Amino acid sequence: MCAGEENWVDNRTIYVGHREPPSGTEAYIPQRYPDNRIVSSKYTFWNFVPKNLFEQFRRIANFYFLIIFLVQLIIDTPTSPVTSGLPLFFVITVTAIKQGYEDWLRHKADNAMNQCPVHFIQHGKLVRKQSRKLRVGDIVMVKEDETFPCDLIFLSSNRGDGTCFVTTASLDGESSHKTYYAVQDTKAFHNEQDIDALNATIECEQPQPDLYKFAGRINVYHDRNEPIARPLGSENLLLRGATLKNTERIFGVAIYTGMETKMALNYQSKSQKRSAVEKSMNVFLIVYLCILISKAVINTTLKYVWQSDPFRDEPWYNQKTESERKRNLILRAFTDFLAFMVLFNYIIPVSMYVTVEMQKFLGSYFLTWDEEMFDEDTGEGPLVNTSDLNEELGQVEYVFTDKTGTLTENNMEFIECCIEGHVYIPHVICNGQILHDCTGIDMIDSSPGGSGKEREELFFRALCLCHTVQVKEDDNIDGLKKAQLSGRSCVYISSSPDEVALVEGIQRLGYTYLRLKDNFMEILNPKNDIERFELLEMLSFDSVRRRMSVIVRSVAGDIFLFCKGADSSIFPRVTEGKIDQIRSRVERNAVEGLRTLCVAYKKFTRKEYDSVCKLLQNAKLALHDREKKLAEAYEQIEKDLILLGATAVEDQLQEKAADTIEALQKAGIKVWVLTGDKMETAAATCYACKLFRRNTQLLELTTKKIEEQSLHDVLFDLSKTVLKHSGSLTRDNFSGLSTDMQDYGLIIDGAALSLIMKPREDGSSGNYRERFLEICRNCSAVLCCRMAPLQKAQIVKLIKLSKEHPITLAIGDGANDVSMILEAHVGIGITGKEGRQAARNSDYAIPKFKHLKKMLLVHGHFYYVRISELVQYFFYKNVCFIFPQFLYQFFCGFSQQPLYDTAYLTLYNISFTSLPILLYSLMEQHVSTEMLKREPSLYRDIAKNALLRWRVFIYWTFLGLFDAVVFFFGAYFLFDNTTVTSNGQMFGNWTFGTLVFTVLVFTVTLKLALDTHYWTWINHFVIWGSLLFYIIFSLLWGGIIWPFLNYQRMYYVFMQMLSSGPAWLGIILLITVSLLPDVLKKVLCRQLWPTATERTQIMSRDCQDHTSEFTPLASLKNPRYRSNDCSNFPARRSNSHSKKRMFTHWRGNDYSILPSIFGYSNNRCNSSARYCYSGSGLETSV
């Protein structure tokens, strides 16, 4: 039995090169695996029609109209089946064509991928065949700059040390070169014959989508001896889609092919998110369905009441047949009910769904085309992964943001290191000049001697050896940081910017990391001697342990473990060293907003190392629970350490991060920062980006507090503190910009959150959560530090499911943010330096945090206003359309006689009224873009689904009912005068219906024209073009005898109506009367109770100058804070003026005293500066 053998069922055995193992070793069981075809398409030629129809009819509205269409076919209904069938056919066809075209593109891409040529080994020779014909077990050769055709176990490369370099940009966006390692026993096989002679089997887990996890082992057979088992991990697995770099060629064996590759498993879509507007739309649809059923029931009942009089039921001119008399009453009533349902079914707008879908799809392009959101540095703009949530961007109440890489640049600079209490910096600032090459300057006292010197050297060696940095001696690397080091061009590459900053910083202190060659790490010491250390083991970093270690052997034979990690994970594991001095320096650096890491070491005897090696080997060979066993092994190894020192790295604040947060808070959005960093570091960043202000009272809910008091007491005290002011601080007043109320900020850490979320035996967990939420609601900002990725998602879920059900948005740039991005209503990824996992899993991706401001306050605002109007308008125009039909039944004996002609019934929603609202919902700007950016508070006007509340919905419905009554009875009273034509002829029922329909089409189109604030030539063309199309169509429809029609009831009707002077007058009068109440209501409300948006519209009309993008002085109630533009200069130690910034408080106002370099001093404006910096928030134009 091999080491690490378990009862592992869910695995697969792969025979390398399809060679059977030596007889007598193990049974040969051939297994069937899929071929290497990638299928990302949804349909085939044969199943497209049935599958697409099935998916479309799962939509309630489509299914409803299908039922109505079938009823029209089966029973004798008042309207032709065409009236329901044609709109339904139009909607189904448009959607099917869109989905079919998208799938055809996927088929095309699949075929191109599946027919790529691949080199594989057969009988010791290289053979070329198509990628789709590749099978599990085939040995493949991949050349430089080629992509891997499937998931391969790396067997050997042309490099002597058995390594290769790979970029995984197409998988996770990381452009850095990652190192992969060949299997120890096969790395010496460099040609086809050697590889073909390999006799080995691979046991590994079944396919799973995690790109960064893999567990397996390879058994290599030599003759009939027992096989040699070697562990396989993610460092041996080359993934499909990744590209080979800086390596001439590699050999690998296929283990996962086709749809079982990790890349294909990641194709699977995320859970569907639904917007608040869509939910409102469905609720309104149910209301209208109830109205429809009520109408049908009322009409059916009244029909039988009407027919209770025998003369009405069976007049002399229309006698019933014998079979009609004997027909069952209930069956007759049910048939009539269905007939009325068919007659009134147009109140349900079937075309609304397709219009909403087109609006979302086309509207998303406005975001991707926005040049202001394009980032010059990265050459990237915003990305829309799903257009279903566009309007949700206008409803956000909580923003959960990561810190590193989101609020900060993730551009690290080494600032200092502290060894044994002595501080070293790579250069000294003297009178504003940077003095280079001042290595090892001690800033506290004299340099250490004796054992201190030895610890100093160990510290520098630890930082040179404990990392995953690669050295690339090549200038031609795209997008990578280059540095002229030691007179030669040298590039350090790592997936973590922290590591590159540390290695470069230590280089400036005299120790240079040269390379890793043949498993030996080489460093250049200050004496220009090259030191070599054999890399024995690497204990990789993970977000749970928050540390990494290496075990190395020096030339003298000493074995060291060097460990670096977060102070919270290192301090509990150290037993000696100057812990107090280093801890105080770490805390001081954290308060200044620097990222800190601690470094420790441990020396092994040969015996200790052997036991460690055995422990690790057993954990690595495990197929089942390998990660858990490795974590346990690491925990045992990384203990009893000796503390060496700590490092401090600075991460600059992102451009306009403070401006963005301030704007979001003014918009009534609460901003929470969720980070894995130390509390002090995170708090310093929060102050820098204006999340916390100078008058913010910080409340702590941390492990330290809970150790002093019980969790219950801490929560009770905090609750008591914030609720004292709850009378004045409401949920709608979150900007935290006024002084008449206390501003609170809460800081919570991961351990405290675990206690709050943990279910307790007495069931009091719910109370803790409620108390915690109550505290959070009354705080203007919350900082959650020391958060694990899963805890970030827990926080988002906790707020999302609280009783107010607020709309949440999560934004982050790294893999650790994916869980919260998927959990939030809207997930936004930043295409940053930590790869693209966040961007790939998000609903939207933006280049920088500053772009969030325009995305929410402008695009989100417009998206929501436009789609709200679209939904309400659709219901309104359908009420106007069908309610006259209902009223008409009272005048035609409930005989189900249609008021409108079949053509009008069919084309009303498809042609006559569809384009104007679609264009409105794409182009409308009720307020200018500049005004929305300048006045973030306008976002509050649309918060909490304000435009789709019941009050607004009922107003639109009653407006539709009023207009319908005006259309019908206006035309009815006009017809009382029988001499409406010049020749004395009377109008018939079709002329009456056409008159009502003409007023209807003009009224609903002109209503939209009155609502339009932003006119373009396209709006003019579509609105007036739709009306013109209706007139031309009606003239043609009634002016020609159409041979395909079995009736000619509309012949000459429209022309006859237009030939009547009273009809013209009636049309104009009825349109005016219909539109008047809505116009009066708007004028009165705007004058008496204007909203903030309406006040802004009036102001923007009065003031035509839109060049300034600064907050008007009048809108700032309480000027207290310094302008943001000035604070955007990163506070870095290398800036001579960075520390010369002072704040003072006098007579209730904060004043900033800044150096004269900015063109002003103290608080007096320089005439050339154009801005006064005693203002609040956004810059104030003077």
Three-class DSSP category at 714? helix
* Number of Cβ atoms within 10 Å of the Cβ of 241: 22
- Looking at the DSSP assignment, which residues form a beta bridge with residue 701? 748
Look at the chain and count its residues: 1182
Tokens describing residue 17: 């090169």
Helix axes 914-923, 1017-1039, angle to 10 degrees: 180
As a whole number of angstroms, the distance between CA 45 and CA 116 comes to 23
Q: Which two tokens stand for residue 718?
A: 């905090």
Q: Count Cα neighbours of 720 within 13 Å in the Cβ-side half-sphere.
A: 6
For residue 522 the two structure tokens come to 């080489």
Helix (H, G, I), strand (E, B) or coil at 748: strand
User: 983 phi and psi, to 5 degrees?
Assistant: -95, 10
Distance CA 562, CA 542 (A): 16
Residues 6+ apart with CB under 8 A from 1080: none
Active-site option among 151, 388, 402, 901: 402
Return phi, psi of residue 636, to 5°.
-70, -35
| Known catalytic residue at 402 | yes
CA gap 202, 219 in Å, rounded: 6
| Neighbouring residues of 880: CB distance < 8 A, sequence distance ≥ 6 | 960, 963, 964, 967, 1000, 1003, 1004
User: What is the Cα–Cα distance from 577 to 592, expressed in whole angstroms?
Assistant: 24
Is 1144 in contact with 1151 (CB distance < 8 Å)? yes
- What is the layout of strands, in order, in the sheet containing 228-232? 11-15, 200-205, 216-220, 228-232
H-type alpha helices, 119-191: 169-172
Please say whether the beta carbons of 715 and 775 come within 8 A: yes
**249-256 and 151-157 strand pairing:** antiparallel
Measured distance CA(139)–CA(242) in Å, rounded: 17
Q: Which residues contact 188 (CB under 8 A, 6 or more apart)?
A: 156, 162, 194
Contacts of 451 (CB under 8 A, 6+ apart): none
Local structure of residue 693 (DSSP, 8 states)? -
Q: What angle do CA 485, 490, 492 make, to 5 degrees?
A: 110
Paired tokens of 545: 């342990």
In sequence order, the 6+-apart residues with CB closer than 8 A to the CB of 658 are 688, 689, 690, 1124, 1127, 1128
Q: Which of 1034, 1018, 1037, 1007 is nearest to 913 (CA)?
A: 1007
Is 11 in contact with 201 (CB distance < 8 Å)? no
Segment holding 586, helix H or strand E = helix 579-591
Q: What stretch of H or E contains 882?
A: helix 861-888
Give the span between the Cα atoms of 981 and 468, in whole angstroms.
92
Cβ(646)–Cβ(599) below 8 Å: yes
Cα 508 to the center of its chain, rounded Å: 40
Going by C-alpha positions, the residue among 774, 787, 788 that lies closest to residue 731 is: 774
Q: Which residues does 532 contact at the CB level (< 8 Å), separation at least 6?
A: 520, 521, 522, 555
Backbone angles phi, psi at 707, to 5 degrees: -70, -35
Tokens for 1085? Answer: 């409300």
- Looking only at the bridges linking them, the beta strands covering 488-493 and 441-442 are unpaired
> What are the catalytic residues?
402
